């Protein structure tokens, strides 16, 4: 397989995934691409994270996370409270409405995962996961492209 075809297939895969998810998240009132669905599901896994820990867990920079949290807070889906051990930090928690929305988001993610993995054996999925981790490691190890 030509290396450029791998890049093209990864791009097409991401676009197809986004096209599939866009209407679902739009119906939930969550814009795709701003990290809000990812933030909600991460808080569902473990509530009461600092903004720094949440940014790291979601792979978002501080500014993007802050904007997303502002929108989620305005929508009544999260609440920020003072951190008991730090005057400068806040803990981010789901509200009841946020918990309901996060459950719906998780259901959407699961449906996409089931669709993506249809027809693959457990062993094939393991091999694919290893290959994708290798690709990710290759990219994360780069400081920049050498042209």
Residue 41 confidence (pLDDT): 95
3-class SS of residue 120 = coil
Q: How many residues does the chain have?
A: 147
pLDDT over threshold 70, residue 69 = yes
115, two tokens:
């669709």
Residue 93 confidence (pLDDT): 95
Angle at 98 between CA 95 and CA 103, to 5 degrees: 130
Q: Quote the CA–CA distance of 115 and 49 in Å, as a whole number.
A: 31
pLDDT over threshold 90, residue 68 = yes
- Give percent of the chain with pLDDT exceeding 90: 65
CB atoms within 10 A of CB 17: 14
Which band of pLDDT confidence, cut at 50, 70 and 90, is reported for residue 32? Answer: low
pLDDT over threshold 80, residue 143 = no
109, two tokens:
């993610």
User: pLDDT by residue (tens digit) across 80-113?
Assistant: 988 787 777 789 999 999 999 999 999 999 999 9
Residue 147 confidence (pLDDT): 59
pLDDT over threshold 80, residue 3 = yes
Q: Return the CATH number of 3-138, one of 1.20.1050.10, 3.40.50.300, 1.10.10.10, 1.10.150.170.
A: 1.10.10.10
CA atoms 30, 36, 40, 45: torsion sign: positive
CA atoms 28, 77, 90, 71: torsion sign: positive
CB atoms within 10 A of CB 13: 11
- Give percent of the chain with pLDDT exceeding 70: 99
Q: Judge contact between 28 and 101, C-beta under 8 A.
A: yes
Residue 132 confidence (pLDDT): 94
Which band of pLDDT confidence, cut at 50, 70 and 90, is reported for residue 77? Answer: very high
pLDDT over threshold 70, residue 48 = yes
121, two tokens:
């054996």
């Amino acid at each position: 397989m030509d290396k450029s075809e791998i890049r093209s297939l990864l791009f097409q895969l991401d676009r197809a995934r986004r096209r599939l998810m866009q209407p679902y998240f739009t119906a939930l009132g969550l814009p795709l691409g701003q990290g809000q669905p990812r933030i909600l599901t991460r808080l569902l896994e473990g509530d009461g994270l600092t903004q720094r820990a949440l940014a790291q867990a979601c792979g978002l920079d501080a500014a993007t996370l802050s904007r997303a949290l502002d929108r989620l807070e305005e929508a009544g889906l999260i609440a920020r409270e003072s951190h008991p051990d730090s005057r400068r930090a806040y803990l981010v928690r789901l509200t009841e409405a946020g918990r309901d929305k996060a459950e719906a988001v998780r259901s959407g993610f699961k449906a996409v995962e089931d669709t993506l993995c249809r027809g693959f054996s457990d062993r094939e999925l393991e091999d694919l996961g290893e290959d994708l981790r290798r690709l990710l490691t290759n990219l994360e190890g780069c400081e920049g492209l050498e042209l």
